[in-house]
Structure formats: structure tokens, C-alpha cells
Amino acid sequence: MSLLSVKNLHAKIAGQQVVEDVSFEVPESGVTAVLGRNGVGKSSTLKALLGLIERSGEVSFDGKPIQNLPTHKIIRLGIGYVPEDREIFAGLTVAENLRLAERDSKPNREMVEELFPDIYSRLSQRAGTLSGGQQQMVSLARALLNTNRLLIVDEPTKGLAPKIVTQVSEVLKKAAETVPILLVEQNLKVVKQLAGPCIVLEGGQVVHTGDSNELLDSEELTMKFLGVHGGGKETGVS
């Protein structure tokens, strides 16, 4: 049985249809990648299933229907969300950002501090003054502070320096050992390192499901669905 099951999901932003009839399943373990070109509705799909935008359809988490729950209740079922563009609270300090995110009675502070020593040395700094990479670390840390049953991660390496990309990728790989991840990622190198099954979107609809590596190893499929060459063997798309 799958952990998250999405059936006929539709979503609108400001009256405009951005997700049209999307259905897919996320298994109990491993990294499931959502792929596709820019603007095909990947982020919107994630937002829709979390109730962050207006949506309709059926979404069930661990067999429980969640399509009518408000966002905070969905999250409290045990979902960690790392949004696109990080969305840290720029005016708050790093410590405040982290404190706000703690929803468990016993948050995994030691584990997170071990993963991100850099941001723990800047606890009293305003999060808005951090570098992009550090902000991404804060955003990841916010999600990892709680014990989750699913992590939803949206383009975690977007706009980051190659060194940081590797670091983020390592963090996700480690997290994936204990928790299933639903990942939107444009960097195909990262996808190749992490992902098992994949879902490809186009025009707000699912056009392909299968195995990430199979897709990325096939020049033809990669070109067809993602519009890039190379299948991520040498050059990742950043």
C-alpha cells in the first residue's frame, strides 16, 4: 500500500487552472521524484496536496482522506515541507525560525545541529541576512526538526552553488534512510543520486510514470519529457 495517494487532483491559482487531473502514488519508502519542465505545475501539485492553494480531487495520506483538511492539520499528520524558494522568515532570527517549526514535544535538535553546524553558529542572526545556501539549510532544518512520516521537498538546490548542491543532496540522502521523500528537482544529477520512482508532469497533467534512472538513462525520454540532453550522466542541469 502506498503512503500518499493522489487521485484526480485539480488546483487553481487566482482562478487559473494550474493542476489538471493529476493522479499518482508515493510509496512507503525511498525518494519519489516529480519531474518536468519549468511551469508545468510541479510546485503547484505539492501546494495543492498540502491545501496551500485551492484544490479539488482525492488525496489520502496513510489511508486517511486529507483533501478537505486545512494545511496545518495535514502537516500535523507528520509531513515536513521544504518549499520552493525556501520561504524562511527573513525578519526573524535563525533561532526563531527553528523554534517556530518545532511541533513535536521532543524535536530532533541534536541531529539537526549535527547536520547543519553552520546555521547553529548563527542563531541570533536575522535569517534574511543569510546566504542562499544557508537559508536553504534553515528551511531543511525546519522540516527535519520534527519526526516526519513524509518529507515534501520542492527544488532544494535551485540557485545554489555546486558545493552546496552536493551538501543538500547528502542531507536528503541521509534523511531518505528513515523517511520517504516526495521531491521536485530540476537538477538531474541530484535526481539520479536520490530518486527511485518518478512522475513526469506537463501542462498540469501526468504524462509519464516510471523509474527515474530508466528515464534519465534514455536520451530520447529525457529529451521528450524534460527538453534537455544528456540524461544527467556528466552535466547536471542547474
Partner 1 sequence: METLILLLVTGLGLGALYFLIASGLSLIYGLMGVLNFAHGSFLTFGGFAGMEIARRIGAETWPQFILAIIVGGAAGALFASLTELLLIRPLYLRHIEQALITVGLSLASVALMEGIWGADPIYVSGPAILSEVTEIAGARIPNDRFLLIFGAVAILVGMLAFLRYTRFGLIIRAGVENRSMVTALGIDVRTAFTLVFAIGGLAAGIGGVLASQYFGYVSPHIGGTLLIFAFIVTIIGGLGSLVGAAIAAAIVGVLQQLANFYLGGTGDLIVVILLAAVLLLRPTGLLGKRAH
Partner 2 sequence: MERILSFIKRPSTLVSIGLIAVMALLPVLNISIPGILPGPTWSPGSLQLLALAMLIGSMALSYHLLLGVAGLLSFGHALYLAMGSYGLGILLRETNLQLLPAMVIVFAIALLAAFLLGFVSLQVTGIAFAMVTLAFAQAGSVLIRRNSQFTNGEEGLPLNIANVPDFLVGVFNTRNLYWVALIVMVLCFLAAAWVERSRAGHVVAAIRENELRVRVLGIKPLQPKLIAVTAAGVMAAVVGMVYLVLQSGTSPENISADLTLTILVIIVLGGVGSRWGAMIGGMVYVLLEQRLTAFARSPEIKELPEFLAIPLSEPLFILGTIFILVVLFLPGGFAGLGRRIVSGRKAKLKELS
Q: Which of 8, 58, 64, 70 binds partner 1 (CB under 8 A)?
A: 70
Examine residue 190 and tell whether it contacts partner 1 (CB under 8 A).
no
Q: Which is nearer to partner 2, 6 or 18 (CB)?
A: 18
Minimum Å gap between C-beta 48 and partner 2 is 18
Helix (H, G, I), strand (E, B) or coil at 13: strand
Residue 105, CB-side half-sphere exposure with 13 Å CA sphere: 0
Examine residue 87 and tell whether it contacts partner 1 (CB under 8 A).
yes
Number of residues interacting with partner 2: please give it, by CB under 8 A: 3
Beta bridge mates, 183: 33, 153
Q: Which of 96, 113, 118, 217 binds partner 1 (CB under 8 A)?
A: 96
Q: Which segment (10-18, 46-54, 71-79, 219-227) binds partner 2 by CB under 8 A?
A: 10-18
The set of cell numbers assigned to 138 is 534553515
Contact by Cβ (8 Å): 178, 148? no
Q: Which of 16, 38, 105, 124 binds partner 2 (CB under 8 A)?
A: 16
The set of cell numbers assigned to 47 is 501546494
Q: What is the b/e burial string over 181-209, where b = at least 16 CB atoms within 10 angstroms of the residue's CB?
A: bbbbbbbbbbbbbbbbbbbbbbebebeee
Sign of the torsion formed by the C-alpha atoms of 37, 229, 223 and 214: negative
Write the CB contacts of 234 (distance below 8 Å, at least 6 apart in sequence). none
Q: Which segment (34-42, 82-90, 159-167, 216-224) binds partner 1 by CB under 8 A?
A: 82-90
- Kindly list the strands in the beta sheet with 205-211, ordered across the sheet, starting from the edge strand earlier in the chain: 79-82, 150-154, 181-184, 31-35, 197-202, 205-211
Minimum Å gap between C-beta 238 and partner 1 is 25
By CB under 8 A, the residues from 10 to 69 that bind partner 1 are 50, 52
Examine residue 100 and tell whether it contacts partner 1 (CB under 8 A).
yes
Q: Which residues bind partner 2 (CB under 8 A)?
A: 14-16
Q: Which residues bind partner 1 (CB under 8 A)?
A: 50, 52, 70-73, 75-76, 81, 83, 87, 89-92, 96, 99-101, 103, 142, 146
